[in-house]
Amino acid sequence: DAKTTQPPSMDCAEGRAANLPCNHSTISGNEYVYWYRQIHSQGPQYIIHGLKNNETNEMASLIITEDRKSSTLILPHATLRDTAVYYCIVRVTRTGNQFYFGTGTSLTVIP
């Protein structure tokens, strides 16, 4: 199963871009990369997903390296409400559609 590695914590100044890295060196060719975040004691919230190409939506951008072994989630203008734990997840397709969460990055946005 593809696993993900993320730094345990990061700080970002309010209004600046937050760049959250993720390594997934064992990812398979048809496995998507998903990003979720979890604000304290709430359910995880979907942010963005991608397969090979870079993706952007109203919340964030996802940059996936050409070899697909790593990715970066970019929050372009971080706000205090973006303080959360961010999870990079690779969906396992071999046996179904389950998610296995990595340890995540705790992002603190500083005023």
- By CB under 8 A, tell whether 55 contacts other proteins: no
Q: List % helix, strand, coil for the chain (3-state, nearest 5).
A: 5, 50, 50
- By CB under 8 A, tell whether 31 contacts other proteins: yes
> Helix or strand or coil: residue 48?
strand
Q: How far apart are CA 16 and CA 76, in angstroms?
A: 7
DSSP secondary structure letter of residue 106: E
* Given 7, 59, 101, 108, the residue binding other proteins (CB under 8 A): 101
Alpha carbons within 13 A on the beta-carbon side of 26:
8
- By CB under 8 A, tell whether 87 contacts other proteins: yes
* Given 21, 72, 74, 102, the residue binding other proteins (CB under 8 A): 102
* Given 7, 19, 32, 72, the residue binding other proteins (CB under 8 A): 32
Stretch that binds other proteins, among 10-18, 59-67, 75-83, 84-92 (CB under 8 A): 84-92
Q: Decide the pairing of beta strands 70-75 and 99-101.
A: unpaired
List interacting residues with other proteins (CB under 8 A). Answer: 30-32, 34, 36, 41-46, 49, 51, 85, 87, 91, 93, 95-104
